[in-house]
Structure 1
Amino acid sequence: MTAATTGAAILATAREQVLERGVGLSREQVLSVLRLGDAHLSDLLALAHEVRMRWCGPEVEVEGIVSVKTGGCPEDCHFCSQSGRFPTPVRSAWLDIPGLVKAAAETAATGATEFCIVAAVRGPDARLLAQVRDGIAAIRESGNDIQIACSLGMLTQAQVDELVAMGVHRYNHNLETARSHFANVVTTHTWQERWETLGMVREAGMEVCCGGIIGMGESDEQRAEFAEQLAELDPHEVPMNFLIPQAGTPYEHYEVVEGRDALRVVAAFRLAMPRTMLRFAGGRELTLGDLGAEQGMLGGINAIIVGNYLTNLGRPAQQDLDMLTELRMPVKALSDTL
């Protein structure tokens, strides 16, 4: 059997299993998709888009993010310029309450339905939780009804309960990479510790947002493993990040993921998780460029972060919104997220 015939068979099986029956690909099947040659990429992206449209619909959820506490993190995540263990240009800083309210208002003005408050910490202390609590209250008092999400590191059960009481409806805590690769990326905490936080978040009734970063030295086998582990977790949303090599970090000299490989990963993750929200996040501009963003939206993506990221610039929000208009993809209404 030729490579072309094999590729066609892989896609035909995926079409019947995922598109027709809604059953995600297994780890072995994801690996076979990741190994498809470039000759099959267009067909793969088209299939991933069909799957997205059938099982998720045409709407796109738009989100903005802001860092309430930047830099000075005690963890050693090798990709992160906010780690206090590496000689990066990022320094510790806090965003005040008026700044949070302003950022939430600017996010809502783009048409986004989601505003995520992020902190560079191992887990939240009393000061951080108070800042988040006061910030959410001030956002609501300003008349802004945008949905609030948080990403504050690993949690205790009491902290999970506090966030629920504040009205946080979604919690982001990325597993970052496959379990078998995690110790090569982070040594100051374990993959299991992150998994346990996610379990508490789910049990408390918050939506689970969990993804990772592609391009941290993982193999195709580990990308397939990661897709399987995310599918097992069954999060509401999976942010798809691509490594941005940061000065001063252990990964500063890593190569940027090649655009076609990035699109292949997006499509493979869609086929592994047909009903999950897949969100374009950090690194897409560097990895894919402007055209790649459009290709990704037609290759399985159905959510997007607009504006800037935590320590990296993104595209202007209006540019992404214009792209969605051109693609005839409606922005998910706030009323649909309540």
Structure 2
Amino acid sequence: MTSTLEDLVTKALRREAPSRNEATRLLSEEFDVLDVVAAAGRVRRHFFGNRVKLNTIVNMKSGLCPEDCTYCAQRLGADSEILKYSWVKAEEAAGAADEAATAGAKRICLVASGRGPGQRDIDRISETIEAIRRKQPDVEVCACLGLLSEGQAEQLREAGADAYSHNLNTNERRYAEICSTHTFADRAETVRSATTAGLSPCSGAIFGMGESDDDVVSLAFELLELDPDSVPINFLIPMEGTPMAGEWRLTPQRCLRILALYRLFFPDVEVRLAGGREVHLRNVEALALHVANSIFLGDYLTSEGKTGEQDRQLIADAGFVVEGSEERTLPERRHDLVNIRRRGVGTDVAANV
């Protein structure tokens, strides 16, 4: 019997993943994209209501990375015109975290470029977590420092980190196509180490790197094996100066289908709308909030995002509220959105068509 979208919703509400065939059909044109979003939206609202969790990134160290991930502007040999600096001081990072938490962010993600941390780097992050806690004792702190060595996850947990983020990025079969300096297995093992140490595991993907439908589905099953608590969905920003500078493969509809697929695979897990959402979703970004229950607030590692005010307005306009706050569901003013017509019929100015 051929499954319907109603069948997939029922399975998701029971926390059952789609089959491989069902998942592949969701990415095809068999189902209208709005019907797919609506189905995933029912699951999202069942588990998360109308809440949107805000997260923010503090880029502790930018560029200067020895790894050769082809999608990344911080990679070895990249000549992208990004900010490049060594470790920022703990108090500077804590100040940025304080501003973000005051603006509604529930999780602060401390990210540093590089293959993985040394002991001195663990000490730096520990000091930063302590500084953040002095200002914002209740905010969640997530570390994202690359591949972890034995005992490092435990050190981060003891330092007060709540979570560890390490994306798989793409599926195992094609991982060597995007990186040669470490393996898919290396990444998966780091996620497992973090989980074993008591850190909340965060692991997701980047789409738009030439993956097939089968690759998208395979990665969903591989992520399921790691049982993450949050799944960031990134859409490739093809930065100049990287090998993927010309990879403009995504459409808004493709992004929505991928988001919906991962919601059905991870019905009660934080699915986070992450890097590239503004670039690729464009005018349908609000629809994505009916699938994802979490976004990054503000800027990313190497690219700028919308302003916090724009993101909060997006959330309110879509009928959602910021998780953990009493955000207004209607904007305070509307006059700034109204432009009096001064062109077209009845004027000497051509219409804007």
- Could you tell which deviates more after superposition, 207-216 or 141-150? 141-150
**Does residue 172 in structure 1 map to residue 165 in structure 2?**
yes
Q: Any residues of structure 2 matched to 1:173-212 within 5 Å, and which?
A: 173-212=166-205
Partner SS state of residue 180, structure 1: helix
Q: Any residues of structure 2 matched to 1:140-289 within 5 Å, and which?
A: 140-289=133-282
Instruction: Tell me the CA shift for residue 81 of structure 1.
Output: 0.4
Residues 196-247 of structure 1: CA distance to partner in whole angstroms, max 9, x if unpaired?
A: 1111111111111000100111111100111111122221000010000011
> Does the 8 Å CA contact 1:201/1:207 hold for their aligned counterparts?
yes
| C-alpha spacing 1:16/1:144, structure 2 compared with 1 (3 Å) | closer
**Does residue 87 in structure 1 map to residue 93 in structure 2?**
no
**Does residue 98 in structure 1 map to residue 91 in structure 2?**
yes
**Does residue 310 in structure 1 map to residue 304 in structure 2?**
no
Instruction: Tell me the CA shift for residue 143 of structure 1.
Output: 4.8
> Does the 8 Å CA contact 2:270/2:293 hold for their aligned counterparts?
yes
Q: Using the alignment, how far apart are the partners of 1:204 and 1:230 within structure 2?
A: 19
Q: Using the alignment, how far apart are the partners of 1:141 and 1:274 within structure 2?
A: 35
TM-score (norm 1): 0.91
Report the aligned-residue RMSD: 1.8
Aligned to 1:60: 52
Amino acid at match of 1:272: F
| C-alpha spacing 1:30/1:131, structure 2 compared with 1 (3 Å) | same
Partner SS state of residue 157, structure 1: coil
Aligned to 2:317: 326
Alignment match of 1:14 (pick from 8, 18, 35): 8
Q: Using the alignment, how far apart are the partners of 2:19 and 2:45 within structure 1?
A: 21
Partner SS state of residue 126, structure 2: helix
Partner SS state of residue 32, structure 2: helix
**Does residue 33 in structure 1 map to residue 63 in structure 2?**
no
Residues 142-196 of structure 1: CA distance to partner in whole angstroms, max 9, x if unpaired?
A: 3553211110001023111110011101110000011111111111000001111
Instruction: Tell me the CA shift for residue 140 of structure 1.
Output: 2.0
Q: Using the alignment, how far apart are the partners of 1:13 and 1:312 within structure 2?
A: 39
Amino acid at match of 2:128: G
Q: Using the alignment, how far apart are the partners of 1:36 and 1:14 within structure 2?
A: 16
| C-alpha spacing 1:95/1:87, structure 2 compared with 1 (3 Å) | same
Q: Using the alignment, how far apart are the partners of 2:157 and 2:136 within structure 1?
A: 20
Instruction: Tell me the CA shift for residue 256 of structure 1.
Output: 4.3
Identify unmatched segments of 5+ residues in structure 2.
326-353
**Does residue 115 in structure 1 map to residue 117 in structure 2?**
no
> Does the 8 Å CA contact 2:52/2:323 hold for their aligned counterparts?
yes
Deviating beyond 6 angstroms after TM superposition, the runs of 4 or more aligned structure 1 residues are: none
- Higher-RCO chain (CA-CA 8 Å, sequence separation at least 6): 1
Q: Using the alignment, how far apart are the partners of 2:224 and 2:152 within structure 1?
A: 26
Partner SS state of residue 279, structure 1: strand
> Does the 8 Å CA contact 1:209/1:236 hold for their aligned counterparts?
yes
Amino acid at match of 1:329: F
Instruction: Tell me the CA shift for residue 58 of structure 1.
Output: 2.7
Q: Which structure has greater helix proportion?
A: 1
Q: Using the alignment, how far apart are the partners of 1:143 and 1:119 within structure 2?
A: 21
> Does the 8 Å CA contact 1:28/1:224 hold for their aligned counterparts?
no
Query: Aligned residues, how many?
Result: 324
Q: Using the alignment, how far apart are the partners of 2:198 and 2:136 within structure 1?
A: 25
Instruction: Tell me the CA shift for residue 321 of structure 1.
Output: 1.3
Q: Using the alignment, how far apart are the partners of 1:273 and 1:26 within structure 2?
A: 13
> Does the 8 Å CA contact 1:14/1:271 hold for their aligned counterparts?
yes
Amino acid at match of 2:19: S
Partner SS state of residue 225, structure 2: helix
| C-alpha spacing 1:323/1:89, structure 2 compared with 1 (3 Å) | closer
Give the fraction of aligned pairs with identical amino acids, expressed as a percent.
Answer: 35
Partner SS state of residue 208, structure 1: strand
> Does the 8 Å CA contact 2:101/2:136 hold for their aligned counterparts?
no
Instruction: Tell me the CA shift for residue 110 of structure 1.
Output: 1.2
Amino acid at match of 1:131: R
